[in-house]
Amino acid sequence: MKNLYLITLAVFCLSACSGSGDYAHEEEATVASETGQPAPLPADVIYVARPLISGKLYSQPDFEAGAIAYFDTTQRIFVLDTSNAMFVKARIRQDTSQHTGFVPKTILPDRE
């Protein structure tokens, strides 16, 4: 009985300690903030910018498309693709959710 208890406890501890890696980026960001270094960007992000004016995150690269989310000048925009002539594919985080859509290039500052 004691051996069964120890085996069960060992399996529980091992399963609790082995994460799925979902929080790896958050851990890197925490370490970066504590050391004063910029947090590493996710692999699919080209660069991060703050918009020059408030705007909408569109569902398609078209001004007539529906808005997925609204953002202001304090919002960080993660640029994912710049191949469209007028829009960038972007992701924004609001509260605990992420939204991916399209933002007009004209409202983002020039990259240095």
Strands (E), 1-112: 47-49, 55-58, 67-71, 77-81, 87-94, 97-104
Taking the domains of the chain in order of start, what are their residue ranges?
Answer: 2-35, 47-107
Higher pLDDT, 75 or 3: 75
pLDDT exceeds 50 at position 14: no
CATH superfamily membership of 47-107: SH3 Domains (2.30.30.40)
Q: Which residues pair with 98 in a beta bridge?
A: 93
**What would the two tokens of residue 4 be?**
């069964």
Task: Indicate the pLDDT class of residue 18, thresholds 50, 70 and 90.
Answer: very low
Instruction: Please say if the pLDDT value at position 9 is more than 90.
Output: no
Q: What is the DSSP string of 91-111?
A: EEEETTEEEEEEEEGGGSPPP
Q: Give Cα separations from 110 to 14, 22, 81, 106 (angstroms).
A: 48, 32, 15, 9
| pLDDT tens column, 23-44 | 444 555 555 557 677 777 778 8
pLDDT in tens, 43-92: 888 899 999 999 999 999 999 999 999 999 999 999 999 999 999 999 99
Query: 76 is written with which tokens?
Result: 């960080």
62: amino acid identity, one letter: D
pTM, full prediction:
0.64
pLDDT of residue 41: 78
